[in-house]
Structure formats: structure tokens, C-alpha cells
């Protein structure tokens, strides 16, 4: 919860899954193709059971993949994971669509 939100979503070393109902925290290591593995971060996060993703920024393709999975993406998060959750719960993050995604590799 005290890890910082990575500015490049796909290259984050791990993803923190937080259940807003139970307070349960689970950390999922990023084993996607960005790190020599297989698959894409949205697939890893879907497998972990998330229905919302909080991030600093994200590429349009990843946003589209999350939307296909029925997972909402909220952008503009900053600080720690705990900060991002507080920003989300306070309504300070913006729900993303593909048009808002970064079209380059420096998000």
C-alpha cells in the first residue's frame, strides 16, 4: 500500500489488488511480455479479479483491452497506492476511454 504508483503502467513491477469491501490486499507480480513473460498486464489484472484499475496514465490499447474485459480504468492517480485509493474514493480520478490513452511509450 506504500509502494508508489508507476508512471508507466505496463512496466510496473507489480500490481496491488485492493478489495474495497473487505480491505484485503493482494500483490500480483507483473509477469507480462514487458518483463520477458507472456500476456499483457490487463490479462493479469483480470485474472486477479479486479473490476477497476487506478493508474497515473495508460496507453489506448491497454484501456481498450480493459474495457473489453468490463474493467473500468481511472487515470490521474499519484503518490502511493494508498493515496491512489483515497483519490479514487474521493472522486478525484477521471474514468478513461481510449481517446484519453497515451499513444506513445512514455506514459
* Tens-place pLDDT, residues 27-80: 999 988 766 566 789 999 999 999 999 999 998 989 999 999 999 999 999 999
CB 44 within 8 A of CB 30: yes
Which residue range forms the structural domain that includes residue 75?
A: 9-100
**Within a domain: 15:** yes
**Within a domain: 26:** yes
Q: Write the CB contacts of 2 (distance below 8 Å, at least 6 apart in sequence).
A: 80, 81, 82
Write the pLDDT tens digit of every residue in 82-99. 999 999 999 999 999 877
CB 51 within 8 A of CB 69: no
**Within a domain: 27:** yes
Whichever domain contains 75, its CATH number is 3.30.420.130
User: What residues form DSSP beta bridges with 72?
Assistant: 52
Torsion of the alpha carbons at 88, 89, 91 and 97, rounded to the nearest 10: 40
Amino acid at each position: 500500500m506504500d509502494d508508489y504508483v508507476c508512471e508507466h503502467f505496463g512496466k510496473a513491477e507489480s500490481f496491488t489488488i485492493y478489495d474495497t469491501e473487505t480491505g484485503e490486499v493482494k500483490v500480483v507480480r507483473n509477469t507480462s511480455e514487458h518483463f520477458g513473460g507472456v500476456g499483457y498486464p490487463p490479462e493479469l489484472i483480470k485474472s486477479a479479479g479486479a473490476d477497476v484499475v487506478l493508474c497515473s496514465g495508460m496507453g489506448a490499447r491497454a484501456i481498450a483491452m480493459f474495457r473489453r474485459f468490463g474493467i473500468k480504468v481511472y487515470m490521474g492517480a499519484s503518490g502511493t497506492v494508498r493515496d491512489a485509493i483515497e483519490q479514487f474514493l474521493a472522486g478525484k480520478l477521471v474514468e478513461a476511454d481510449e481517446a484519453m490513452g497515451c499513444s506513445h511509450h512514455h506514459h
